[in-house]
Structure formats: structure tokens, C-alpha cells
């Protein structure tokens, strides 16, 4: 562990995490970052972005930053600590695979969490145990300890490496916010950005796989709303999306599900649970009439078979579907309407908010934005 303290170009990567004690987790990550003076790349599915006041070392725009070749070289680390699984970001995974930094995975299980097969060592201990060991070994530089409690810490107080990360991250956040605020059309990507500002404090939010989870990683802005993200990651894809969200929200605080149309349709029988279910769940459906993620993949250049076997348009009338199960339904036609529908949330029942999106337009917007963003740097 001493080599971490001596490293000037170290990086902490906080992957997806569903913690029963999110505040404790966020404070532990902040303590680790403070101890080592390393920036923290926080996945959108981590609670870290929703407890940003705990951690002045937080970086949220890494996927966008790493699309710029100059920055991929400038920000290359020598050592990496990965807390659990890697984030969703393909850009991050490609960057790490090419750079091959010495990497430590911190996770108490013996699961293989290194999909990149790099220079990796697995330390089988919890994050809290790691922080405790660092404290016991007196590896903390006393001059750095106070910084974690200074929420207004200036970038100039950090090392040149972490200052580079923080400066570019702040600039990227400003560009994202400007682009979203200036976007009047209903756009999938802006929904994820808006939720990070508009939801009530502490809202449990289940995020479906495919494009919703990726837009959260790209555009979810750090804040202090204590949103509780939930998710199912892995080989099962969209299986059980609705049922899981209902299970999370049962007898809990009013909750939200962000999902595409296919993920919801794949599990509509989950609505049969409603007679035994208590609470409130708002379901935000991004209805682009098909599997939108495939527009972002190489298969998009081949049609057929793109439309028939990958996009899978269903042409479902969700108002009628909601009526079949006795579920409330509302079509969202503006950003103002969506914001007002989310805060406050109802106390009881299941409600569908349907947002009709154009898959091709959404894909084109992302492509243009990513390109323009990379050119800025």
C-alpha cells in the first residue's frame, strides 16, 4: 500500500454500487481519495454522484473526456484502484486496456472482476477495511486530512494530475449543462440529465439496461439529492426490469423506474403483482419503438437485418396497456410537464409517464454531441 502513497498519477474508479449505507460508502471513498490524493471516477450507478458534497475529488464526465486523444494521453494513470466492478463506459475500458496501468480490485469476494485481463491484483477486503488499514499504517499525510471537510476546496490546492482532471471535468459539466438547457425537443439523453436535478430528495430510482443506463453514465450530474440508484447489470439484460422495480418500491418511499419500451414490454406480467404491492412507482417510458442501443453499434450500418432482428419495433399503445392492468397513464409533451410530474411524487399507485422519442434523432444527437465535445479539447 505504500506505493500508492508515493504515486503522483493514481486513479480511483468507483463502479456500480448498491449500498445499504450509501452515506457511509461515500464517506469511505472520500477518505480513500483524500489519503492518496487521487481523483475518483464515479459511475452513474454509484451513489457517489448523489453525495457530491462529501467528495471534492469527484469526476463524472470521464466517458466524454476520454473521447479526446490528447486527454487520453494527458490523464493516463500509473496505478488504479477499482472499487468493485468496472463502470459501463466502453471508452474507459478501452483506455485502461491500452494503457495497462497496475490495477488493484477492492472487493471482499473471490469473483473475477477483471474483464480486461490486465496487470491486476485482487485485494479481498471491503472498502471500509482498506481505509482502516491505511489509517492504522499511518499513511495519511496530515496536511491533506483537512481537505475532505473543506467542501469549497480550490483546484490549486491539489496536485497537478488531479487538478487536470478536476479542471477538465468542470468544463465538461458546463458544456453538458448548456447543451441540455438549450435542448427543447424531447430527447432520451436529456431525461437522465433532468432526473439528476428534478427528483425529490432520497428518491429510489431503478435504471433499466440498454440506453437508459448509458445515458445516466454520460449525463447524470453530481448533486446532493441523495438519490438511491438501483440496477440489474450482467448477462440477463432486460429480464425482470419491472418486477425488480416493483420489489424495490414495495412499502418504501415513492420510487421511479427509468426504462425503454422493450425492457418494460419484456416484463409486463410484473403488473400482476400490483394487488399485493403497496406504495408508489412512477414508470418513465422512453418509447422509441424498439431497441435504441443498436443504433449506437456497428450493426446499425446493416439494414436488413437491423430493423427486423435488432430494433424490433412493437407499435404498442401504452395507454391501452395501462388500462388493461388498471394503471394510470400520462403522455409527456414538454420538459416542464415532466419536471412538474416528478416533484412531488404521488404516495400511492403505479403511474406511467410515456415520452415518445425518435430513435434515429436521439442517436444522431449523441453522435454529434460526442464529436463536438471531443473537438473542444
Query: What's 145's domain CATH number?
Result: 3.40.50.1220
Are residues 99 and 9 part of one domain? yes
| pLDDT given at position 323 | 97
Query: Domain end: 126, 150, 174, which one?
Result: 150
| pLDDT given at position 375 | 72
Query: Domain end: 150, 169, 198, which one?
Result: 150
Long-range contacts from 312-315, C-beta under 8 angstroms, 24+ separation: 312/262, 313/289, 314/261, 314/262, 314/265, 314/289, 314/290, 315/289
The radius of gyration of the chain's CA atoms, rounded to the nearest angstrom, is 21
| pLDDT given at position 302 | 86
Are residues 316 and 218 part of one domain? yes
Are residues 194 and 91 part of one domain? no
Are residues 190 and 141 part of one domain? no
> What one-character-per-residue DSSP string does 5-20 give?
HT-SSEEEEE-----S
Q: What are phi and psi of 187, to 5 degrees?
A: -135, 135
Are residues 364 and 268 part of one domain? yes
| Residues 32/6, Cβ–Cβ less than 8 Å | no
| pLDDT given at position 216 | 96
Are residues 336 and 255 part of one domain? yes
| pLDDT given at position 146 | 40
| pLDDT given at position 19 | 80
Does a structural domain hold residue 36?
Answer: yes
User: Collapsing DSSP states into helix, strand and coil, what is residue 77?
Assistant: coil
Are residues 197 and 131 part of one domain? no
Does a structural domain hold residue 168?
Answer: no
Does a structural domain hold residue 172?
Answer: no
Are residues 105 and 253 part of one domain? no
Does a structural domain hold residue 132?
Answer: yes
Residue 226 has, within 13 A of its CA and on its CB side, a CA count of 9
Count structural domains, the chain.
2
Mind listing the pLDDT tens digit of every residue in the chain (377 residues)?
678 988 989 999 999 987 889 999 999 999 999 999 999 999 999 999 999 999 999 999 999 999 999 999 999 999 999 999 999 899 999 999 999 999 999 999 888 888 888 889 999 999 999 998 887 664 444 444 444 444 445 555 678 999 999 999 999 999 999 999 999 999 999 999 999 999 999 999 999 998 999 999 999 999 999 999 999 976 557 889 999 999 999 999 999 999 999 999 999 999 999 989 999 999 999 999 877 777 777 887 888 888 778 877 888 999 999 999 999 999 999 999 999 999 999 999 999 999 999 988 999 999 999 988 877 65
Q: Is the previous residue joined to 135 through a cis bond, with omega within 30 degrees of 0?
A: no
Distance between CA atoms of 60 and 40, rounded to whole angstroms? Answer: 9
Are residues 116 and 39 part of one domain? yes
Are residues 201 and 112 part of one domain? no
Q: What are phi and psi of 285, to 5 degrees?
A: -100, 120
| pLDDT given at position 116 | 87
Does a structural domain hold residue 169?
Answer: no
Are residues 333 and 188 part of one domain? yes
Distance between CA atoms of 37 and 332, rounded to whole angstroms? Answer: 45
Rounded to two decimals, the pTM is 0.91
Are residues 322 and 202 part of one domain? yes
| pLDDT given at position 251 | 94
Q: Is 278 left (phi over 0), alpha (psi -120 to 50) or beta?
A: beta
Its domain, for residue 79, covers 2-150
Amino acid at each position: 500500500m505504500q506505493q500508492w502513497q508515493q504515486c503522483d498519477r493514481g486513479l480511483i474508479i468507483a463502479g456500480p454500487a448498491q449500498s445499504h449505507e450509501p452515506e457511509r460508502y461515500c464517506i469511505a471513498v472520500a477518505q480513500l481519495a483524500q489519503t492518496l490524493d487521487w481523483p475518483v471516477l464515479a459511475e452513474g450507478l454509484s451513489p457517489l454522484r448523489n453525495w457530491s458534497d462529501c467528495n471534492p475529488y469527484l469526476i463524472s464526465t470521464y466517458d466524454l473526456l476520454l473521447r479526446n486523444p490528447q486527454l487520453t494521453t494527458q490523464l493516463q494513470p500509473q496505478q488504479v484502484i477499482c472499487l468493485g466492478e468496472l463502470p459501463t463506459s466502453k471508452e474507459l475500458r478501452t483506455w485502461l486496456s491500452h494503457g495497462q496501468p497496475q490495477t488493484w480490485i477492492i472487493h471482499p469476494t473471490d469473483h473475477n472482476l477483471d474483464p480486461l485481463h490486465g496487470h491486476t491484483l485482487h485485494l479481498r477486503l471491503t472498502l471500509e477495511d482498506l481505509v482502516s488499514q491505511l489509517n492504522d499504517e499511518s499513511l495519511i499525510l496530515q496536511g491533506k486530512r483537512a481537505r475532505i471537510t473543506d467542501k469549497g476546496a480550490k483546484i490549486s490546492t491539489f496536485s497537478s494530475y488531479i487538478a487536470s482532471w478536476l479542471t477538465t471535468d468542470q468544463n465538461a459539466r458546463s458544456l453538458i449543462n448548456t447543451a441540455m438547457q438549450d435542448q427543447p425537443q424531447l430527447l432520451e439523453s436529456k431525461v437522465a440529465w433532468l432526473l439528476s436535478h428534478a427528483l425529490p430528495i432520497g428518491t429510489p430510482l431503478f435504471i433499466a439496461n440498454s440506453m437508459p443506463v448509458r445515458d445516466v453514465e454520460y449525463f447524470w450530474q453530481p448533486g446532493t439529492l441523495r438519490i438511491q440508484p438501483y440496477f440489474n447489470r450482467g448477462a440477463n439484460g432486460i429480464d425482470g426490469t419491472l418486477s425488480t422495480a416493483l420489489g424495490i418500491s414495495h412499502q418504501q418511499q415513492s420510487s421511479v423506474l427509468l426504462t425503454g419500451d422493450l425492457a418494460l414490454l419484456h416484463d409486463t406480467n410484473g403488473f400482476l403483482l400490483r394487488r399485493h404491492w403497496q406504495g408508489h412507482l412512477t414508470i418513465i417510458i422512453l418509447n422509441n419503438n424498439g431497441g435504441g442501443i443498436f443504433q449506437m453499434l456497428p450493426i446499425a450500418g446493416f439494414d436488413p437485418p437491423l430493423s427486423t432482428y435488432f430494433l424490433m419495433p412493437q407499435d404498442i399503445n401504452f395507454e391501452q396497456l395501462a388500462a388493461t392492468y388498471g394503471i394510470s397513464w400520462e403522455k409527456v409533451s414538454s420538459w416542464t410537464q415532466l419536471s412538474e410530474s416528478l416533484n412531488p411524487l404521488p404516495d400511492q399507485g403505479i403511474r406511467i409517464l410515456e415520452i415518445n422519442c425518435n430513435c434515429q434523432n436521439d442517436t444522431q444527437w449523441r453522435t454529434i454531441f460526442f464529436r463536438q465535445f471531443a473537438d473542444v479539447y
